[in-house]
Amino acid sequence: MRIAFYAPLKPPFHPVASGDRTMARLLIEALRRSGHEVAVAAALRSRDGAGDPLRQARLCDLGRRLAARFVRHCARVPAARPDLWFTYHLYYKAPDWLGPRVADALAIPYVVAEASVAAKRSGGAWRLGHEAVLAALGRADAVIGLNSADRDAVLPALAAPERYHAMRPFIATAPFAAAIGGRAAAREALASRHGLDAAVPWLVAVAMMRAGDKLASYRLLAAALTRSRDLPWRLLLVGDGPARDDVAAAFAPCGGRVAWLGRIEGPALAATLAACDLMTWPAVNEAYGMALLEAQAAGLPVLAGASGGVADIVVNGVTGGLVPAGDAVAFAGALAELLAFPARLRALGDAAAARAAAAHDIAGAARRLDGILRGVAGARS
C-alpha cells in the first residue's frame, strides 16, 4: 500500500532528538519492512503548548488549506494518491487538522497510532484541539494503542470498540543486543575517558534536558541519589538541552559522582548503555519511555517510576523495578535493594534483554502493523 504518514507533534525528520521522533521513524521503518511505500505527507507542527485559541484556529485553517492542496496534488498526479492515511501521536495540544479531511476527500482509510483523550480539556483553552481529537478518533478506521494507560479514555470516542488495536511499543533491538558483547571494552573506554571506577555500579539516565516533565524527572532522580550517597554508584547522564544548568544544579549535592556525557545516539548510545549496570529514570508523566526500552535491549534492568504506560515495557521484579510515580524516597529505597544484590541485578538485565527481543522488536511490530492495515483496507474495500 501507498501510505501517507503524518506526525502533527514532530515530523520524523525534525533535527531535535526525542522519543516522539524516534517512534515516528520506527513506525515508518516497520511499515516499509512489510513492503508498504511510505511518504511523509506534511511537516505542519500543530502543537499549541500555551492554550491559545487563536493559534489553534489559525492552525486549523492552515491544516484545511494544506489538506485541500494535498488532495489537488493527488488529482493532478494519480501516482501520489495514497491508499491509506496514517497519523502518529494525536492529543489535544497537537491534533490532526489534515488527515481526516484528506481521508474523507479521497475515500481512503484513516489510521491513528497512539492517541490520548483528556476530558478535562473539553471546555478550556484547548477546546478546539480537544474537539479535533475526538472528531479524528470518531473518523478513524483503526486506532493503534501503544500506551495501555490511554485505552479507557480513547475507546468511547471510537465509532466501534473493535477499531482499537493494542500494540506494544517497539524498537530495533538488534543493535542494542549486539552491544552487549562489547560491554567490557566499552566500560573500559568510558572509565578512562570520564575517570570512572569500573568496579563501582554504574547508573545511567538518558533524556533531553528541557523544562517540564523531563526536568521534574531529573530533579526527582537527583533527590533520590542525594539520599543514596552512602551507596556505591556513579551516574552517567546522557542528554543535553536548554535546561542543562537546572539539571546541574539539581545534581550539585552528588558532587563528582556524575559523568556528563552529552547527547549520544546510534551505536555509541547502545555501547554506553551496555557498559552500565542499571537504568534509572523516575519517568514523571512518561508515556512509556523509549530509552527504557533501549536500555533493556542492551541488557540493563530498569528502575523507574510507574507512570503512564511504563509498566507496559518494564515488568516489575522481572526486568527491573517500578516505584510509585513521584516518590523519591521509594526510588532511593528500591535502588538500595537492587544494588545490594549484584547477581540479582545481572539476572534482571538478562531477562530484560530477552524480553525486549521477544516482545518489543521491530520485526514483530512490522507483522502486527501489516495485519492491522490490511484488515482495515479489506474492510473498507
Sequence spans of domains, the chain: 2-170+361-380, 174-359
| pLDDT for 378 beyond 90 | no
Please provide the average confidence, as pLDDT, over all residues in the chain. 96
DSSP 22-51: HHHHHHHHHHHHTT-EEEE--------SS-
The amino acid that residue 265 corresponds to is E
Alpha helices, DSSP H only, in 77-156?
99-106, 127-139, 151-154
The predicted model gives 107-126 an average pLDDT of 93
As a whole number of angstroms, the distance between CA 108 and CA 351 comes to 42
Instruction: Tell me how far apart the alpha carbons of residues 284 and 274 are, in angstroms, rounded to a whole number.
Output: 24
Query: Do the beta carbons of residue 286 and residue 313 sit within 8 Å?
Result: no
> 263-298 pLDDT, tens per residue?
999 999 999 999 999 999 999 998 888 999 999 999
Give the pLDDT confidence of 335-352 residue by residue, as tens digits.
Answer: 999 999 999 999 999 999
Distance CA 26, CA 115 (A): 17
For the record, the C-alpha cell of 213 comes out as 516533565
Q: Determine the Cα–Cα distance for residues 260 and 327; give it in Å rounded to an integer.
A: 24
pLDDT above 70: percentage of residues in the chain: 99
Residue 100 · residue 135 · CB < 8 Å:
yes
The DSSP annotation for 250-296 comes to HHGGGGGGEEEEE---HHHHHHHHHH-SEEEE--TT-SS-HHHHHHH
CA separation, residue 250 to residues 4, 36, 225, 245 (Å): 43, 46, 10, 9
List, for residues 73-83, the tens digit of each pLDDT value: 999 999 999 99
Q: In whole angstroms, what is the distance from residue 130 CA to residue 123 CA?
A: 9
Give pLDDT, residue 121: 86
User: Confidence class of residue 314 from pLDDT cuts 50, 70 and 90?
Assistant: very high
Question: How confident is the model at residue 381, as a pLDDT?
Answer: 62
The confidence score (pLDDT) of residue 17 equals: 81
Across the range 141-165, mean pLDDT stands at 96
- Give the pLDDT confidence score for residue 254 in this predicted structure: 95
Specify whether the CB–CB gap between 362 and 170 falls below 8 A. yes
Structural domain 2-170+361-380, CATH architecture: 3-Layer(aba) Sandwich (3.40)
pLDDT in the model for residue 272:
98
pLDDT tens column, 19-69: 889 999 999 999 999 999 999 999 999 999 999 999 999 999 999 999 999
**The C-alpha cell that represents 109 in the structure block:** 482509510
Would you tell me how many other CB atoms lie within 10 Å of the CB of residue 194?
Answer: 13
pLDDT of residue 288: 87
DSSP 155-212: GGGSSSGGGEEE----B--HHHHHHHTTHHHHHHHHHHHHT--TTSPEEEEE----TT
pLDDT band at 369 (very low <50, low <70, confident <90, very high): very high
Characterize the bridge pairing of strands 202-206 and 164-166: unpaired
For the stretch 191-223, pLDDT in tens is 999 999 999 999 999 999 999 999 999 999 999
> Rounded mean pLDDT of 102-126?
94
Report the topology of domain 174-359: Rossmann fold (3.40.50)
Identify the pLDDT of residue 19. 86
Q: What is the DSSP letter of 361?
A: B
Q: What's the CA gap between 161 and 143, in Å, rounded?
A: 10
pLDDT of residue 123: 84
| Residue 376 or residue 120, greater confidence | 376
7, 19 contact by CB (below 8 A): no
